[in-house]
Chains A and B, each alone.
Chain A
Amino acid sequence: MSASAINANRRVGGHRSWIRQHAVSLAFLAPAAIWLLFIVVYPTIDTVRLSLFNESATRFLGLTNYKTVFSTDTILTAFRNNVIWVLIFPFFVTTFGLIFAVLTERIRWATAFKTLIVMPIVFSTTASALVWATMLDNSPQIGAVNAAVLTVSDWFNPPGAYPVSTTAGQTVADLVGSNSRAEKNSRIVSISSARAGGMINIGLEDVSPTTLTLLKAQDAVKPQPMSGAITGVVWRAFSPSDPTNKTDILPGELGLPLIRLSLVNSQGSTVATTTTTTSGQYKFSNVGAGSFFVELVSSNFSSGFTGISWLGGSSLTPVSGLGQTAQALLSVPLADMAMIITYLWIWAGFAMVLIGAGLASLNREVLEAARIDGAKEWQVFRRVTVPMLAPVLAVVFVTMIINVLKVFDIVLNMASGSSVNATPTLAVEIYNDGFTGGVHSGVSSAIAVILFLLVLPAMIMNLKRIKGV
């Protein structure tokens, strides 16, 4: 009894002396600890509380918000995007960091190279996102990337004089006006046929007036019939003074210049080709026997390269025809890739610096020993450098997992009108649900709690590593 009392006393006394011993350090720690309590611990606990209440935090709901999280397509989309980011980004950023770090050890101008690679880190993420969004713009007139593709594409697939606006859903069939019908492979063929000395006039509509101004089109004039030839005019069959009259060539209606025509015989094979004049006239001379049709060949209407929508909502996996939920889970938006590349550009330098530091502290003797033993440079790299760097690589990898789990600004700033619903990550979804529109904190907090739980293992892993290093 007395012994235990003494023990207890000693314990209390020990405790007291521990406090006395550490009084100074505790005094120094206290402000930071209290500060953290307010800005980290309290918000964390309050977020958990909010996630159990309704949107205006007035009624307890239990786990309803968590059920909503896993049954709402927009949020499932965000989960999918986080998975895509985590699968791709940390691996590539570590790889690039390693390559750059090793390279900079052996090239001239290493400092200049390093500076270039590291520079994106000092730019604001929003600025980087906007610059890349402009470079990746789907119009070749704005986006540098599409402009480059356009230059190459024009060699193989030049646009026609009358490009159909495929992005607006226009087809060659929309152009059909008078005495014409759309045929497969984007051709337009006259309905009437003619023999030598005859005439075939073809009217088109839906022709952009801008195009006609560009081609300096003149008023359409019917040519005179010529013996031995087939003549005619291709014109824009639309007049504001009489919009419903498609058959007559009305005053003020323009001819269509530079249309490539083929003369097609009744077997369907081309016997001659020509091009219309500025007033839309054409002439096939020395036509043989039989009756012929006039064809407006498909190259007239080719829209050429209209730009890849890098930041659009199109999916790299085939998901069309699937339901909304299946799409939310399975599609891999092209825009995700564009954003990941931008993010790599930003963070590769950071990875390089960390790995470079690890590389500098490597024991050179081991590398020398390997070389003396006859190992080739590649073997030294693979069998010696990388294994010795493993702890640093792991720290970079795990840090980047945490980094992309909460990726936000780049996605918010790069998403375009057509991909804004396809690219949100969990962090963006927290913002969309919680901070735009009215008062609503429930579901948003639930996502935040889940995101916290997802980041936690990576964080613990990293803390352990740092302790170990």
Chain B
Amino acid sequence: MLASFSVVGVNGAASASSSTKIGGTVSVWNEFSGAEATGFATALKPFEKKTGVKVTVRNIGSSGPTLIEAAVAGGKPPNIAAVPTPGSFDLLAAGKRLTPLKPILGSEVKNFSAGWNAAATYKGTLYGLWLDSSSKNTVFYNPAVFKAAGISSTPTTFEQMLSDASTIAQAGYTPISFCSGTAGAGWSATDLFQNLFVKLNGATAYNNLVSGKLSWTSSDATAAFAEYSSLLGTNGANVGGITNALGTDQLWPTCVNDVFPTSGSPTAAMVIEASFVEQTTPANYVGSDASSCTLTQTNPCYDYFPFPAPAGSKYVTNDQSSGDVAMLMTSTKASRALIQYLGSKQFATLWEEAPGGTITPNLSVPASALKNPVTASIVKNLNSATATVFSMDDEYGGTLEPEMWSNMLAWVGGTDTTAQFESTMQSETKAYLAANG
């Protein structure tokens, strides 16, 4: 009774604010570029028209958090900022730079799953709103190559994926095209480790590892490394793509092109990376009917399956994701109206329908707005996660981020053993947290 009353109240307030022109300007800083920036701008238009508020968007590049901190120190932060680094979100919330959002968003809070809202909460208070996201819980594959290797259904366990991989190798294809990452390499290798860790040990253990409460030398980390080793093929299993990535210059997105070539035939079957792989592939989704897919077609078929958890994993629905979280830094009438709009169905649907689209964490977006069944499936998969964790390198800063990457590549390349990796990471994490925790 009370709940329904409050919902009505908020709705009333929202409709009142939208019927009258508010006017003024709102500054928004974000890291969107290209199609993302266009989609974001398109989705803002109805708001500007309806409220008369002028939204000035500024792209702050990849050093965004540094700029925001500088602006805060200078006393003139933007009204709203969106960053992809949960570490910066925590830092800003801890520094009391953010406005609590629950009273402002009202019923729009329900547009997001508990997992996403938890990821926008600092010490019990909701300070953030996830605008877009990427699921790292995905493995993209070429159905034509699977067919050529005689694999009729996608694997549901990690072990099954490994046995499929060896069948694919026998058929003469590289089973997994492994990216060493962009310049600043190593994120691909760490993503894979993080996927395995969160499925085996859960989000709580994962976050404890990040915050130093759980040691890198614990059996949890070792278990994830053991699974990772079996993927690398310690006993000559034919996952040649890994060595390829380390030995040569397999930069992102070359690894994607090996599986989904724009010309010529595919040489590899799978690429284990986040949902943004979809943006680099030609839009030729043939999902349920792989029989029409051929190896030589110019726009190769693509599909995905959720990253398969090792058999017996206790946390199959704990996923790794990434995204941009919007924060209200200076509260004005116009900026409050905008942040509420950013959480609305209208905003999320318009962005979804814009060219390029996004993987929206907003549950209220209708299925009809989603680009294709793959996107729809990824969104469903993303929102059904019971807990969401973020890449460790986004949580860390300073020297620890590049150190973790280089340690990971040393481990993948066989320079370091698991024990060496763990003790190095443990001492480096400890030193980093002692200085910055």
Contacts and interface: CB of A to CB of B under 8 A. Distances in A.
A439 B66 contact: yes
B339 to A, nearest CB: 22
B394 A168 contact: no
A433 B295 contact: no
A240 B168 CA distance: 10
Given A205-B170, A210-B267, A437-B85, A137 B249 contact: yes
A169 B62 CA distance: 35
A103 to B, nearest CB: 36
B185 A420 contact: yes
Interface in A417-446: 417-418, 420-421, 432-444
Nearest to B87: A438
A58 to B, nearest CB: 8
Interface string A309-347: 101100000001001100100000000000000000000
B298 to A, nearest CB: 16
Nearest to A324: B410
Interface string B173-187: 110000111111110
Contacts of B180: 417-418
A71 to B, nearest CB: 8
A311 B91 CA distance: 38
A153 interface: no
A72 B403 contact: yes
B436 A436 contact: no
Given A55-B397, A177-B170, A324-B416, 9 more contacts: A55-B435, A56-B69, A137-B249, A205-B172, A210-B265, A312-B248, A323-B420, A435-B62, A439-B397
B149 interface: yes
Interface in B11-40: none
Interface string B395-437: 0111101110111011000011000100010001001000110
Size category of the A interface is: 35 or more
Contact of A439 (B88, B184, B402, B416): B88
Contacts of B393: 437
A207 B171 CA distance: 7
A243 B63 contact: no
Contacts of A193: none
Contacts of A167: 243-244, 247-248
A212 to B, nearest CB: 8
Given A416-B249, A418-B249, A74 B238 contact: no
A440 B85 CA distance: 12
Contacts of A311: 249
25 contacts: A55-B398, A56-B436, A59-B435, A72-B403, A75-B399, A165-B174, A167-B247, A177-B170, A206-B172, A240-B171, A242-B150, A324-B410, A324-B424, A418-B185, A432-B184, A435-B62, A436-B63, A438-B65, A438-B85, A438-B87, A438-B91, A439-B68, A440-B398, A441-B66, A443-B399
Interface of A: 54-56, 59, 61, 64-65, 68, 72-75, 137-138, 165, 167-170, 173-174, 177, 205-211, 213, 236, 238-243, 309, 311-312, 320, 323-324, 327, 412, 415-418, 420-421, 432-444
B234 to A, nearest CB: 12
- Dominant secondary structure at the A interface: loop
Interface in B216-266: 236, 238, 240-252, 264-265
A323 B416 CA distance: 8
B265 A436 contact: no
B238 A438 contact: no
Contacts of B376: none
Contacts of B295: 209
A64 B435 contact: yes
B409 A238 contact: no
Contact of A327 (B173, B179, B238, B415): B415
B243 A243 contact: no
A68 B431 contact: yes
Contacts, number: 188
B345 interface: no
Which of A56, A238, A312, A412 has most B Cβ within 10 Å?
A56
B238 A421 contact: no
Contacts of A417: 179-183, 185, 245, 248-252
B169 interface: yes
Interface string B146-180: 01111100000000000000010111111000011
Given A243-B150, A438-B65, A208 B172 contact: yes
Nearest to B92: A439
Contacts of B267: 208, 210
A85 B191 CA distance: 34
Interface residues of B, number: 71
The 9 lowest CB-CB distance pairs between A and B, nearest first, are A168-B240, A240-B150, A169-B243, A438-B397, A440-B398, A440-B397, A416-B249, A417-B180, A205-B170
Contacts of A205: 170-172
Contacts of A420: 183-185
Q: Which of B68, B402, B406 has the most CB of A within 10 A?
A: B402
B424 A206 contact: no
Contacts of B69: 56, 439
Contact of B241 (A168, A173, A240, A323): A168
A205 B167 CA distance: 10
Contacts of A438: 65, 85, 87-88, 91, 394, 396-397
A79 B356 CA distance: 43
A323 to B, nearest CB: 8
A309 B406 contact: no
Contacts of A173: 236
A74 B88 contact: no
A135 to B, nearest CB: 14
Q: Which of B148, B167, B173, B184 has the most chain A CB within a 10 Å cutoff?
A: B184
A238 B265 contact: no
Nearest to B241: A168
| Most chain B CB atoms below 10 A, which of A75, A177, A206, A320 | A206
A206 B238 contact: yes
A324 B423 CA distance: 13
A312 B85 contact: no
A240 B251 contact: no
A165 B247 CA distance: 12
A442 B174 contact: no
Interface string B314-352: 000000000000000000000000000000000000000
A209 B424 CA distance: 43
A46 to B, nearest CB: 11
Most buried by A among B171, B250, B401, B410: B171
Nearest to B435: A54
A167 B267 CA distance: 14
Contacts of B248: 138, 167, 309, 312, 417-418
A259 B142 CA distance: 30
B66 A435 contact: yes
A177 B166 CA distance: 13
B39 to A, nearest CB: 24
B263 to A, nearest CB: 13
B394 A437 contact: yes
A150 B396 CA distance: 44
B406 A312 contact: no
Contacts of A412: 183
Contacts of B179: 417
Contacts of A327: 415
Contacts of B428: 72
A437 B150 contact: no
Nearest to A309: B248
Given A208-B267, A242-B150, A437-B85, A74 B183 contact: no
Contact of B402 (A312, A432, A442): A432
Contacts of B399: 68, 72, 74-75, 433, 443
Max count, chain A CB within 10 A of own CB: residue among B174, B184, B248, B252: B248
B240 A169 contact: yes
Contacts of A213: 265
A48 to B, nearest CB: 17
B190 to A, nearest CB: 13
